[in-house]
Amino acid sequence: MRIRTMAAGIAAAASMTFSGFGYAAAQPGDFSTLPVDPNLITDSLAYSAAPPVINPNGQPGVETVYTHRDGSRTITTTVLVLPDAQAATGALDGARAALGTVANGKSQPVAVGSGGTMLTGMSSDGSQSVTLLSFAEGNTATTIEFAGAAKDPAPEDLVLELGRKQDTAIRDWQAA
């Protein structure tokens, strides 16, 4: 199950932010290498990646869906590259406004990137567990969604580990 509303929220916030801004501050290059493969922190064969979606919802960035080999878990990483840090923060604020779609959601700040937040809960129909990690890093806004069986939520340590690796990858990309 995908939480489309969150991506839409980011896109909407980003769209509003883009008015009056250009893309000059966004780094050129191939965004497809930005998402961190979760196999780096698993047994290295657990997930297969779908082809990355470049500029999802018309926004500069990338989205990649990783599916567990048993088909019961997905990790969706979305990195939007916005004009500046303010736009990135605004995009995350917009995304969080859409988090009400997660039933019984519990939100907590986490030490990942800037303004890192982790939301855990259930999908609106209660069929799946959902964990959403969101954070900004410079001019990027990142969300990582973990969806699994209702009784098999993503472990917090896994969420944080992947989030921190993603944050590091973004910083390295920005510094390059």
Name the site residues for other proteins (rule: CB under 8 A): 39, 41-46, 68-70, 73, 146, 148, 152, 154-155, 158
Helix 85-97 × helix 4-18 angle, to 10°: 140
CB of 46 to other proteins, least distance (A): 3
Cα–Cα distance measured from residue 33 to residue 40, given in angstroms and rounded to the nearest whole number = 14
Which H/E stretch holds residue 49? strand 47-49
CB of 72 to other proteins, least distance (A): 9
* Nearest in space to 163 (alpha carbons), one of 148, 141, 142: 142
Cα–Cα distance measured from residue 107 to residue 37, given in angstroms and rounded to the nearest whole number = 25
Which residue shows structure tokens 């509003």? 16
- Taken in order 120, 39, 148, 88, the sign of the CA dihedral is positive
Whose Cβ is closer to other proteins: residue 90's or residue 148's?
148
CB of 158 to other proteins, least distance (A): 5
Whose Cβ is closer to other proteins: residue 8's or residue 158's?
158
Whose Cβ is closer to other proteins: residue 10's or residue 133's?
133
Whose Cβ is closer to other proteins: residue 31's or residue 146's?
146
CB of 38 to other proteins, least distance (A): 9
